[in-house]
């Protein structure tokens, strides 16, 4: 009798597992068809989607010591998430997380995420960087019109696309398809500052500046790309 009961329990357990798998597969299909799904475009990937082992070497032009920093991608994770939108039903979107190592600039993570379009925009993604200080900012959102200020909240500040350059020379190197963006952080505070970023196709971040007044001391940092070894995510 005990043996029959044990066999019966095993059969019930197997049936429950099969039922759960069936329900989950049906639920996934229903979700995919019910909600919009946004992928990261090939066009945008040329600016941020670099694989583990890729690195950038930056020089701080405003200093003579501690002025070389290598930012390296140590790990890459892929994710599919759901965004709750108050005005629509929400949508699924792809995301790429890159763990970074950096000595002086202080970058520890970058995140590329797909988003919904504005009018006829084709690059609808967002690139957010995380510093080891705990601060984080969205620094590359090309879908917004040039010069339109985007208020992203207390944590991320105000974002703005300043210009797009078909060709731009930086420190003797010529880059093509360059986006120039700006973030105003700590808005309205005594230590309010401005960061500017230059993103070039096939290179990513090629220039980064930061201006901030801290305890009556003016900070003017400029980091410029001098070398890189980049592998696109397949």
How far apart are alpha carbons 177 and 64 in whole angstroms? Answer: 31
Least trusted range by pLDDT, from 10-19, 56-65, 214-223: 10-19
Instruction: Identify the pLDDT of residue 20.
Output: 39
- The domains of the chain are located at 1-34, 36-229
Q: Is the pLDDT assigned to residue 178 strictly greater than 70?
A: yes
Taking CA atoms, 23 is separated from 15, 28, 91, in Å, by 12, 9, 21
* Average confidence (pLDDT) over 153-161: 95
Q: Is a pLDDT exceeding 50 seen at residue 45?
A: yes
Q: Return d(Cα 12, Cα 5) in angstroms, integer.
A: 10
Q: Is 129 exposed, middle or buried (0-12, 13-18, 19+ CB in 10 A)?
A: buried
Tell me the average pLDDT across 29-35. 59
167 token code pair: 């060709």
33 — pLDDT class (breaks 50, 70, 90): low
Using CB atoms within 10 A of its CB, is residue 207 exposed (0-12), middle (13-18) or buried (19+)?
buried
Which segments of the chain does DSSP mark as H helices, in order?
2-34, 42-48
Q: Which range among 20-24, 96-100, 175-179, 226-230 shows the weakest confidence by mean pLDDT? A: 20-24
Q: Kindly indicate the confidence band of residue 197, based on its pLDDT and cuts at 50, 70 and 90.
A: very high
pLDDT for 12 equals 39
87 band by pLDDT with thresholds 50, 70 and 90: low
More reliable by pLDDT, 169 or 23: 169
Tell me the Ramachandran region of residue 9: left when phi exceeds 0, alpha when psi lies from -120 to 50, beta otherwise. Answer: alpha
**What is the rounded CA–CA span in Å between residue 36 and residue 116?**
9
pLDDT at 121 over 90: no
User: Residues of the chain with pLDDT > 90: what percent?
Assistant: 67
Confidence bin at 122 (pLDDT 50/70/90) = confident
8 Å CB contact between 137 and 157: yes
The chain-wide mean pLDDT, for the chain, equals 86
Asked if pLDDT for residue 67 goes beyond 60, the answer is yes
What pLDDT is recorded for position 23?
A: 38
């Amino acid at each position: 009798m005990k043996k029959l009961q044990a066999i019966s329990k095993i059969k019930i357990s197997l049936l429950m597992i099969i039922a759960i798998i069936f329900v989950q597969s049906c639920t996934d299909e229903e979700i995919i068809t019910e909600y919009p799904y946004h992928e990261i475009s090939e066009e945008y990937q040329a600016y941020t989607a670099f694989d583990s082992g890729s690195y950038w070497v930056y020089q701080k032009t405003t200093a003579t010591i501690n002025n070389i920093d290598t930012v390296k991608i140590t790990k890459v994770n892929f994710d599919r998430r759901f965004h709750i939108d108050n005005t629509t039903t929400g949508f699924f979107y792809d995301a790429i997380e890159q763990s970074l190592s950096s000595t002086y600039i202080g970058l520890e993570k970058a995140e590329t995420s797909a988003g919904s379009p504005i009018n006829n925009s084709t690059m609808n993604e967002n690139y957010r960087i995380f510093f080891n200080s705990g601060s984080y900012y969205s620094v590359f959102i090309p879908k917004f019109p040039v010069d339109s200020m985007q208020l992203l909240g207390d944590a991320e500040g105000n974002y703005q696309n300043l210009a797009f350059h078909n060709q731009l020379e930086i420190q003797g190197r010529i880059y093509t398809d360059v986006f120039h963006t700006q973030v105003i952080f700590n808005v309205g505070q005594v230590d309010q500052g401005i960061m500017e970023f230059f993103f070039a196709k096939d290179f990513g971040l090629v220039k980064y500046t930061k201006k901030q007044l801290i305890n009556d001391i003016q900070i003017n940092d400029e980091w410029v790309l001098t070398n890189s070894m980049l592998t696109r995510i397949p």
